[in-house]
Structure 1
């Protein structure tokens, strides 16, 4: 019953005519995502230093991710507003505020100050991740998967560069030198003001959005399904992103090697997100999701069993497969609720960020109990067990 309703919503979202894909503007928003997520990528490489300097447990370190993600609870509200008014200035200002919050981590004297700075960055992150994907979808027209792929590539590029930038800054200037990196975010916001000030932040379409109560009721079954998928997948993604540098350093790697490993994983994800989104337009969303969902946990088991020589090549494959589904899911969410794209996107992103943050704490606790290797192994198994949920997803009509 739920699948039939989803199919109707999905088919209603398919444009009757093909409009031109606005490549330049989509790439501009992807660049904004790259700058923003470069700063957001500072946390994982710095966790070992915070653990050492402030005597934190792995669970406390994982809790820092919650402070960064907690403001995502505001995303449905941001989405509701974005369905009615343009919030493009949220996108323009986000690099400055995220840069400020993440760069000040280097001079935070206490755990409480770390939490405060992460909350500032988190609010900025919540706003850009709600509003900008809807702007991208507007500019992508019929090629929604391709547009989401470009948007997510920006994020992956930022996450690739972020660990390398923060490692270089710490090596050159120490943690106390990180606040100078804020200047990059300020410059990015100035450039974005020039490039994006005439781009609407509202979703496309002429139909008025549903009232928020009616919209949320219509989204309930779909979002419940997405929540189950997010939980299953987040165990593995939390292990491979938040705790990958810590895992490698526990096995003898230094800061540069562990940060480079995270960069390799994220770099491979650039190709995965770009190709996954575009292929889902042509082959259907479900087919791409099934391939990624089955192959990624199997690759993680091989990664854990392999020696040091094979780890970097396996991280390339892991990054490509693990991150290929992100634009596919975002496209599926937006096309399922065409009258309330921003609210649906905000609801999905809030659900994703909150559940992933909670799972990150659980993975940290599992690492304290089982060790990092045991936590990684269990996380891959749980992700694989979530695959049957894909049977209930709506079927996407491939583009011509």
Structure 2
């Protein structure tokens, strides 16, 4: 019997904590939008979508390039340098007075998280022994909790001190960058494989049908997710809800989404990746409309369940892609956590335009239909045996 490598929980913990901060920063710009509108009444939904998308696109579309590079080279320094770079760029967005410069800073900030994610997720994969799916789900869940903390922490800060308070938000980035510098896995843990480009292309071609379905699912889900982060704060403001109350609702959706991601990882181990992805996405659309069409505690309950259902497949789609191209895990992470999400982020600009022309309610309704579409695309994924079933049969 082969001895399984020892799981390094302390290093996985540092990487997961860093992921939480990275994704808190990734949900930074949407929290600024109500305050930007208060400063400039001519700030439109389209401008808001472009600002958020500029970060999403650069943080996502270039991730496969980082992933390919990391599969060959394994540069550990990208996790702490990427984190610090993103923190610095975003901390400057609140003190500039030019919209164009703000978009440039947001685009540059995205490169930091593009460098972090493929490297960090591959480190977790290597350090996780035989429990890769569950521990990657935990790593992803920390990121989702970071998203949830964004509105909870940033909105009160901006409410109290204005957008100039963005300058102090560089401090957590500095602290976490130092933690990664000293405690992330060393180079000998992640040395790279120097796989020729021809072999990578061959691997992608052989799994092209499955990867296309997975990327399609993630792109549509990302469009729904980024669209909600962008437009729900504006929708709540149009309904005369305070910024703080609106941030609490967004936090509830994201927090239950983080929990749903962990639960989804466990469920997919027992019943298979495809079943979990299809079922959770299709279920989330009626739950979102339940939130939209009800009031009070019932409405909040629907929003919580919808958030959990939408993000139940978050880590599962990453694992599914890594199973499809097992020799290029960082590239798979870049394609799923990055490129596919960037496609969705780019499309948010069109959702913002819909909101400007036909109103926020129409745009939000379209967003709520998107998970249903993603679930239907997931039907074209390859059905693989559940990981739990494989382990039991191997005994």
> TM-score, length-normalised on structure 1?
0.89
Determine the C-alpha separation between the residues in 2 that align with 1:291 and 1:164. Answer: 30
Task: Give the superposition deviation at 1:61.
Answer: 0.8
**Aligned CA-pair RMSD:** 2.4
Task: Give the superposition deviation at 1:341.
Answer: 1.3
Task: Give the superposition deviation at 1:37.
Answer: 1.5
Do structure 1's residue 59 and structure 2's residue 12 form an aligned pair? no
CA contact (8 A) 1:246 1:258 kept: no
Do structure 1's residue 34 and structure 2's residue 20 form an aligned pair? yes
Task: Give the superposition deviation at 1:89.
Answer: 1.0
CA contact (8 A) 1:164 1:263 kept: yes
For residues 127-183 of structure 1, give each alpha carbon's deviation from its aligned partner in whole angstroms, at most 9, with x where no partner exists.
112221111111223323212211111111211222222112212322112202211
Do structure 1's residue 302 and structure 2's residue 307 form an aligned pair? no
CA contact (8 A) 1:210 1:340 kept: no
Determine the C-alpha separation between the residues in 2 that align with 1:177 and 1:388. Answer: 43
2:79 paired residue number: 91
Do structure 1's residue 49 and structure 2's residue 35 form an aligned pair? yes
Q: For structure 1, which runs of at least 5 residues remain unmatched after alignment?
A: 1-14
1:217-256 equivalence runs, <5 A: 217-256=205-244
1:1-400 equivalence runs, <5 A: 19-54=5-40, 55-71=42-58, 72-198=60-186, 202=190, 211-397=199-385, 398-399=387-388, 400=391
Determine the C-alpha separation between the residues in 1 that align with 2:200 and 2:326. Answer: 14
For residues 211-251 of structure 1, give each alpha carbon's deviation from its aligned partner in whole angstroms, at most 9, with x where no partner exists.
34334433433332233323433443233322221111111
Determine the C-alpha separation between the residues in 2 that align with 1:131 and 1:201. Answer: 12
Determine the C-alpha separation between the residues in 2 that align with 1:200 and 1:92. Answer: 17
- Give the 3 Å change call, closer, same or farther, for CA 354–34 of structure 1 in structure 2: same
Determine the C-alpha separation between the residues in 1 that align with 2:2 and 2:67. Answer: 25
Task: Give the superposition deviation at 1:25.
Answer: 2.4
SS of residue paired to 1:393: coil
Determine the C-alpha separation between the residues in 1 that align with 2:141 and 2:187. Answer: 20
Determine the C-alpha separation between the residues in 1 that align with 2:342 and 2:167. Answer: 27
Determine the C-alpha separation between the residues in 1 that align with 2:221 and 2:191. Answer: 28
- Give the 3 Å change call, closer, same or farther, for CA 56–134 of structure 1 in structure 2: same
SS of residue paired to 2:93: helix
Task: Give the superposition deviation at 1:298.
Answer: 0.9
Task: Give the superposition deviation at 1:203.
Answer: 8.2
For residues 329-350 of structure 1, give each alpha carbon's deviation from its aligned partner in whole angstroms, at most 9, with x where no partner exists.
0000111111111122223333
Task: Give the superposition deviation at 1:387.
Answer: 2.6
1:4 paired residue number: none
Determine the C-alpha separation between the residues in 1 that align with 2:253 and 2:4. Answer: 35
CA contact (8 A) 1:83 1:209 kept: no
Determine the C-alpha separation between the residues in 1 that align with 2:91 and 2:303. Answer: 27
For residues 27-82 of structure 1, give each alpha carbon's deviation from its aligned partner in whole angstroms, at most 9, with x where no partner exists.
22111101112222211111122234342211111011221023233222211111
CA contact (8 A) 1:231 1:359 kept: no
1:6 paired residue number: none
> TM-score, length-normalised on structure 2?
0.90
For residues 174-212 of structure 1, give each alpha carbon's deviation from its aligned partner in whole angstroms, at most 9, with x where no partner exists.
211220221121111111111115265748999888634
SS of residue paired to 1:141: coil
Determine the C-alpha separation between the residues in 2 that align with 1:182 and 1:386. Answer: 36
